[in-house]
Amino acid sequence: MDGPGRELTGLGHDLQLISELEVAPALREPGVFFTPGELARFAAAVSPLESLAGGFAAKEALFKALPPARATWFWTEAELVHDPRGAPRFRAHGTLAAHLDAHRLRVDVSLSHSGGFVSAVVLVTARPPGGGTPLGTLIGFLSRAVGRVLQRNPAHTSGAPQ
């Protein structure tokens, strides 16, 4: 989860049967669900339908993982890309990018293909205010630890332990 100082904010999962998307032509319309770049990458893949299913599952998992917000965004504002090692990640655009930045959210995605299915898991983590610096991380840790101790050991009016 990107080291200390990040907190899990959301977890999303989606399991997609690849063959179901054979009869979903609307998914192949540029700008509706996928960006033109995503559709071009899927079409150029060894297994285009499997790649399309992976992209679909990843976006479904992302929107399940994102915390509730007043902002609205479109499917195409989350663009599935790959890093230099080939690992999937999202590149956010528009309102979604602004929301992620404003709330200090990071999105990680994992895809797995097996037996006619694609599985996607998305983690959304946040850097809490004051976090990110060693002092901020320490203060956050101590605050949470003290809170847990107080929850387990409530004060008694007589001062005697319970």
Output the pTM of the full model. Answer: 0.76
Question: E strands within the chain?
Answer: 7-17, 78-82, 88-92, 105-114, 117-126
Provide φ and ψ at 16, rounded to 5°. Answer: -120, 125
pLDDT per residue, tens digit, the chain (162 aa), is 445 578 999 999 999 999 999 998 889 999 999 999 999 999 999 999 999 999 999 999 999 999 888 888 999 999 999 999 999 999 999 999 999 999 999 999 999 999 999 999 999 999 877 655 555 555 555 555 555 555 554 444 444 444
CB hemisphere CA count around 151 (13 angstroms): 6
The H or E element that residue 138 is part of is helix 134-152
Would you state the structure tokens that stand for residue 1, as one six-digit string?
């989860």
The pLDDT assigned to 134 comes to 53
CB crowding 52-70: b at 16 or more within 10 Å, else e: bbbbbbbbbbbeebbeeee
* Start-to-end Cα distance in the chain: 38
The pLDDT assigned to 69 comes to 86
The pLDDT assigned to 68 comes to 86
Mapping DSSP to helix (H, G, I), strand (E, B) and coil, where does residue 113 land? Answer: strand
The pLDDT assigned to 16 comes to 97
Which of these, 139, 103, 151, 153, lies nearest to 124 by C-alpha position?
A: 103
Evaluate whether 14 touches 70 at the Cβ level (below 8 Å).
no
User: Which single residue is written with the structure tokens 């499917």?
Assistant: 75
The pLDDT assigned to 40 comes to 97
Distance CA 97, CA 66 (A): 12
The pLDDT assigned to 158 comes to 47
